[in-house]
Structure 1
Amino acid sequence: MHEINAKSILSAQNGMNLYRGCTHGCIYCDARSKCYHTPEPFEDIEIKVNAPELLEDALKRKRKKCMIGTGSMSDPYIHLEEKLGLTRKCLEIIDHYGFGLAIQTKSTRILRDLDLLESINKKAKCVVQMTLTTYDENLCRIVEPNVSTTRERFEALKIFRDHGIPTVVWMTPVLPYLNDTMENLNGILDYCLEAKVVGIIAFGMGLTLREGDREYYYAALDKHFPGLKQRYLDRFGWNAYELSSPDYWNLTRRFNDFCGRNGIMNKPDEIFGYMRDFPEQEKPQQLLFDF
């Protein structure tokens, strides 16, 4: 890890990253892509030690309250957060100044800050987002090795449900020939229904690969699923960016039908608008956080 003093903390769309890089080890992580200029190695975490001071200064100067987003490019609850508490310090500032929060994580470490999330939600609005990709726990431990299991994240979602905090699930990526089965989809959807999530984001039934991310993903396939990389190359070629499941249409129909019947938002623009809509605003801003 290494520390830096950042020049600013909030993007134009009020998103922030307190860390850069990650130790969760997810084999498909898009944040490894070279276009993002993240630390090399990716596990050499960059810590923005002055983030709380920058955030407080930025919120003091804002003329209108709004939603603050975090977790898009770097999980705010990586292992280092346990001892550094950088995320918690920033949540305390958001809570103190009465702003809203849309926070994304794969870790149940977020439950440490349940008191602050509940307070933010009562004063303004708090939306917790969690990624659920792999219903099979054994497969989950391979594709997302250093993070809370899917079952553990599901249990966390139920805790937020019981505390009245709205949740959104990112059901992405769907990995061809690995978790692109109807059994996997139904398991995740059942979790979402029981946890009473307000929305499920699925950017197509597939994954995207870019330079940096692509090499890491295929190396992981060679390590854990011998022969599967060649199957990818035969179907998609080396440079493919969008790799859709061979069962794309059946999975998509099932997903759309399930969400429609159960009143769960599943259109990305609608969900992003919901997460950006501060309670005092007249109209939701249907733009994705720009991190």
Structure 2
Amino acid sequence: MSSSLPPFPSSFRSALDAPIKGRGTSSSLEGRFAKQHVELDENDDNIIARDAATPATQVRHESAKSLIRRNTSPDVPFNLSINPYQGCEHGCIYCFARPTHAYLDLSPGLDFETKLVAKTNAAFLFEEELSNPNYRCEPIALGINTDAYQPIEKQLGITRDLLTIALAHKQPISLITKSTLILRDLDVLAEMAKQGLIHVAISVTTLDNDLKRILEPRTASGQRRLEVIRQLKDANIPVTVLAAPVIPFINDHELENIIAASAAAGAQAIHYIMLRLPHEVAPLFREWLHQHYPERADHVLQRIMDMRGGKLYDSRFGKRMTGEGLFADVINQRFRIARNKHGLSDQRTSYLNCRQFAVPPKTGDQMGLF
């Protein structure tokens, strides 16, 4: 199925604005809940000077009211999740979490990668919620919307605190990252692995570093992610790889190489996800294509629409992760053949043990009577 491409939103200054080095997008596209629309004068010297510089990252410290959230989507293999950060400095242009910045009255574009929120009371809340008598243990996914090991974690250490608390409570955790910073916490992760409390997924989008620099500008290279997989395996930590997202005519040709390299590095399982373009991600990704691949931009978008019922995004459960149609079927077939060839599992997560969960005693607590 094909259809004509939708026009760019009127709030876009130009699909041909120069990219900003080190950032995924140069656009400050307004969120869908914005009450005011600002028109920029492209001839304004101040605007030109601002766009020529790389915007600095700003971090707002926030005291969250709650931490553990319940998922209602049947497309993901977890019911509970925790996100210590909002926004992500990695700057992946395709990130499905970009639209969440609209709820903060910020742009899902440049603001998403430069104006971050850190939940600095996350450790306190986590311990409090795990200690609630009504809490019933089940695996918790950590850092699903935005990477729990993005660069600001190096200074703030919120994710390490959460893992330490999870270990103390014997609370099983699954996490996903594309950062080498996870290796900082090998001591905690290895101990959790001994007790069946951890599963790690590493996202490998491309092994082409030139593509990585514009697609995921502040992330580790594909080769360094493979090294993370090796070190996690050596520490007996179960690892799944996510080949995600698969983008037609951009990285889909790498699928078999990513699967082979992941298996060689020691991954136990692998999955893939087709590119998703919800809400503001669609125009942002379309602008990115015209900036970096103008000669094939419309071809890429048309193929995406072929897999999404003539639209750039299809939110239906069961379809949004894989798409449908001839191209989607071909990708699925290629993936299964390569996965089976290299002996990788199709399990969504490894077994995580909930039976050990217990609230550890605190200093001053009375000992229970025998």
TM-score range, shorter chain: 0.7 to 0.9
Relative to structure 1, the CA distance from residue 27 to residue 191 in structure 2 (aligned partners, 3 Å threshold; closer, same or farther) is: same
Relative to structure 1, the CA distance from residue 248 to residue 92 in structure 2 (aligned partners, 3 Å threshold; closer, same or farther) is: same
Q: In the alignment, which residue of structure 2 is the partner of 1:22?
A: 88
Query: Aligned with 1:202: secondary structure?
Result: strand
Q: In the alignment, which residue of structure 2 is the partner of 1:6?
A: 64
CA distance in 2, matches of 1:106, 1:2: 23
Listed one character per residue, the Cα deviations across residues 96-151 of structure 1 (whole Å, up to 9, x for unaligned) are 12222211111001111111111111133211111111122221222111100111
Q: In the alignment, which residue of structure 2 is the partner of 1:271?
A: 348
Query: Aligned with 2:229: secondary structure?
Result: helix
Relative to structure 1, the CA distance from residue 76 to residue 233 in structure 2 (aligned partners, 3 Å threshold; closer, same or farther) is: closer
CA distance in 2, matches of 1:236, 1:80: 33
1:37, distance to aligned residue in structure 2 (A): 3.1
1:58, distance to aligned residue in structure 2 (A): 1.4
Relative to structure 1, the CA distance from residue 129 to residue 11 in structure 2 (aligned partners, 3 Å threshold; closer, same or farther) is: same
Q: In the alignment, which residue of structure 2 is the partner of 1:217?
A: 285
Listed one character per residue, the Cα deviations across residues 61-94 of structure 1 (whole Å, up to 9, x for unaligned) are 3665432211210100111111111111111111
1:150 matched to 2:222: yes
Query: Aligned with 2:61: secondary structure?
Result: strand
1:233, distance to aligned residue in structure 2 (A): 4.4
CA distance in 2, matches of 1:228, 1:77: 33
User: Is the 2:286–2:301 Cα contact (8 Å) retained in structure 1?
Assistant: no
Q: In the alignment, which residue of structure 1 is the partner of 2:339?
A: 259
CA distance in 2, matches of 1:61, 1:225: 52
Relative to structure 1, the CA distance from residue 261 to residue 234 in structure 2 (aligned partners, 3 Å threshold; closer, same or farther) is: closer
User: Is the 2:260–2:342 Cα contact (8 Å) retained in structure 1?
Assistant: no
User: Is the 1:65–1:98 Cα contact (8 Å) retained in structure 2?
Assistant: no
User: Is the 1:65–1:278 Cα contact (8 Å) retained in structure 2?
Assistant: no
CA distance in 2, matches of 1:195, 1:59: 35
Listed one character per residue, the Cα deviations across residues 163-212 of structure 1 (whole Å, up to 9, x for unaligned) are 1000011111111111111xx11210112211232221213xx3121221
CA distance in 2, matches of 1:61, 1:191: 43
Code of the residue aligned with 2:224 in structure 1: it is E
* Backbone CA RMSD of aligned residues: 2.4
Identity fraction in percent: 30
CA distance in 1, matches of 2:341, 2:303: 34
1:120 matched to 2:192: yes
Q: In the alignment, which residue of structure 2 is the partner of 1:59?
A: 130
Q: In the alignment, which residue of structure 2 is the partner of 1:289?
A: none
Code of the residue aligned with 2:132 in structure 1: it is R
Tell me how many residue pairs correspond in the alignment.
272
CA distance in 2, matches of 1:60, 1:210: 36
1:218, distance to aligned residue in structure 2 (A): 1.2
Q: In the alignment, which residue of structure 1 is the partner of 2:211?
A: 139
Code of the residue aligned with 1:194 in structure 2: it is A
Q: In the alignment, which residue of structure 2 is the partner of 1:285?
A: none
Query: Aligned with 2:97: secondary structure?
Result: helix
Query: Aligned with 2:69: secondary structure?
Result: coil
Q: In the alignment, which residue of structure 1 is the partner of 2:256?
A: 186
User: Is the 1:158–1:195 Cα contact (8 Å) retained in structure 2?
Assistant: yes
Q: In the alignment, which residue of structure 2 is the partner of 1:240?
A: 312
CA distance in 1, matches of 2:304, 2:116: 32
Code of the residue aligned with 2:331 in structure 1: it is L
Single out whichever of 239-248 and 122-131 deviates more from structure 2.
Answer: 239-248
Code of the residue aligned with 1:55 in structure 2: it is F
Listed one character per residue, the Cα deviations across residues 207-244 of structure 1 (whole Å, up to 9, x for unaligned) are 12122111211111122112332223444568421577
User: Is the 1:180–1:247 Cα contact (8 Å) retained in structure 2?
Assistant: no
Q: In the alignment, which residue of structure 1 is the partner of 2:149?
A: 77
Relative to structure 1, the CA distance from residue 57 to residue 220 in structure 2 (aligned partners, 3 Å threshold; closer, same or farther) is: same
Code of the residue aligned with 2:139 in structure 1: it is M
Q: In the alignment, which residue of structure 1 is the partner of 2:13?
A: none
Code of the residue aligned with 1:84 in structure 2: it is L
CA distance in 1, matches of 2:299, 2:260: 30
Matching of residues 98-117 of structure 1 within 5 Å: 98-117=170-189
Single out whichever of 33-42 and 104-113 deviates more from structure 2.
Answer: 33-42
**Ranges in structure 1 where 5+ consecutive residues have no aligned partner:** 282-291
CA distance in 2, matches of 1:112, 1:51: 19
Query: Aligned with 2:112: secondary structure?
Result: coil
**Ranges in structure 2 where 5+ consecutive residues have no aligned partner:** 1-58, 71-78, 315-322, 357-370
Larger radius of gyration: 2
Is the helix fraction higher in 1 or 2?
A: 1
Relative to structure 1, the CA distance from residue 246 to residue 154 in structure 2 (aligned partners, 3 Å threshold; closer, same or farther) is: farther
Code of the residue aligned with 1:209 in structure 2: it is L
When normalised by structure 1's length, the TM-score is 0.85
Relative to structure 1, the CA distance from residue 125 to residue 236 in structure 2 (aligned partners, 3 Å threshold; closer, same or farther) is: closer
User: Is the 1:88–1:113 Cα contact (8 Å) retained in structure 2?
Assistant: yes
